[in-house]
Amino acid sequence: MTIAEEFEKNPQVADALANVLEKLEANSVIKEFRDISKKVEDHEGLRQLTERIKVEQKNAVQCAHYGKPEAEKLAKQEADRLTEEFDQHPLVIRYREKLVEANDLLQHLTNKIERDFNDQLEEKLDDLDNLGKEAK
């Protein structure tokens, strides 16, 4: 059994995890990230642009494979142009901003959990060490 499975079976840990997940779902940063993610995912123009980029990238690979350097160069240039267009789209810019915010929040939470866990572990180890010294 893995540590994750053991944690999932521990009701106290499972409840704490459910509580953290519930609070994350309700957090405005996470909500905004999910909202903008959905808008990007549902945006037909961005979807088409992504497909066009893939087509040009495949064309560049095929041209390179068949020894057509000029056609490869043109396909790469078009893929780069389309990628730049994608990158400059307002929804994509907002998505990336919200992604950074959500990532920062999750990193902060992860670091806090890790610090708290390590502090508690260190405290328990100190207690055990003190018990061992008292027993001698």
pLDDT in tens, 41-57: 999 999 999 999 999 99
Q: What mean pLDDT is predicted for residues 77-81? A: 98
3-state secondary structure of 91: helix
| pLDDT at site 64 | 96
From residue 54, how far is each of 21, 65, 108 by CA, in Å?
35, 16, 35
pLDDT, averaged across the chain:
92
pLDDT band at 32 (very low <50, low <70, confident <90, very high): very high
DSSP character at residue 10: -
Closest C-alpha among 123, 49, 48 to residue 85:
49
Residues 66 and 59 sit within 8 Å (Cβ to Cβ): no
Rg, Å, the chain Cα set: 25
| pLDDT at site 76 | 98
Rounded Cα gap, residues 129 and 71, in angstroms: 71
How many Cβ atoms are within 10 Å of 16's Cβ, its own excluded?
13
pLDDT band at 120 (very low <50, low <70, confident <90, very high): confident
Q: What is the dihedral of CA 112, 98, 53, 49, to 10 degrees?
A: 150
How many Cβ atoms are within 10 Å of 60's Cβ, its own excluded?
21
Amino acid at 85: E
Rounded Cα gap, residues 15 and 7, in angstroms: 10
What phi and psi, each to the nearest 5 degrees, are found at residue 68?
-115, 80
